[in-house]
Amino acid sequence: MSSISIGEEKDFEIGKGYTFNLYGEDILVYRGQKSFFAIQNECSHAKFPLEDGILNEEKCSITCIHHGAKFDLESGKVLSLPALKGIKIYKIYIVNNEVYVDVI
């Protein structure tokens, strides 16, 4: 497991998605009102990117705009069809205002 710094906390706008390719993994990072989320940037349904998805921080979910699959941002589990398989999530945390993601 490698922890990678992806920038300072202040570099991330609330409610906006940022994409990173870390060790060959496409990762989507969102800064919500209260926390950061880091998820696989690929919907498990038809492999479209999730970066245009609709974030609902209150319900801790992201909805893919392509066919409407919904995923839990903390567990990666499917909350709504047509996806049948969850997505990968990554641990994300802040140390001294620096944002880190754990990537295998």
- List residues near ligand FES by CB under 6 A: 43, 45-46, 48, 64, 66-69, 82-83
Residue closer to ligand FES by CB (options 14, 54) is: 54
Nearer to ligand FES, 31 or 70 (CB): 70
Instruction: Give whichever of 12 and 53 is closer to ligand FES, judged by the CB atom.
Output: 53
Token pair belonging to 60? 């801790």
Smallest gap from Cβ 25 to ligand FES, in A, equals 18
For the CB of residue 88, give the shortest distance to ligand FES in the complex, in Å. 15
| Torsion angle of the four alpha carbons 7, 11, 12, 18, in this order, in degrees rounded to the nearest 10 | -60
Which pair of tokens denotes residue 56? 């609902």
* DSSP-assigned letters across all residues of the chain: -EEEEEEEGGGS-BT-EEEEEETTEEEEEEE-SS-EEEEESS-TTT---STTPEEETTTTEEE-TTT--EEETTT--EEETT--S---EE-EEEETTEEEEEE-
Q: How far is the CB of 31 from ligand FES (least distance, A)?
A: 22
Q: Which is nearer to ligand FES, 38 or 64 (CB)?
A: 64
State the minimum distance, in angstroms, from the CB of residue 78 to ligand FES: 10
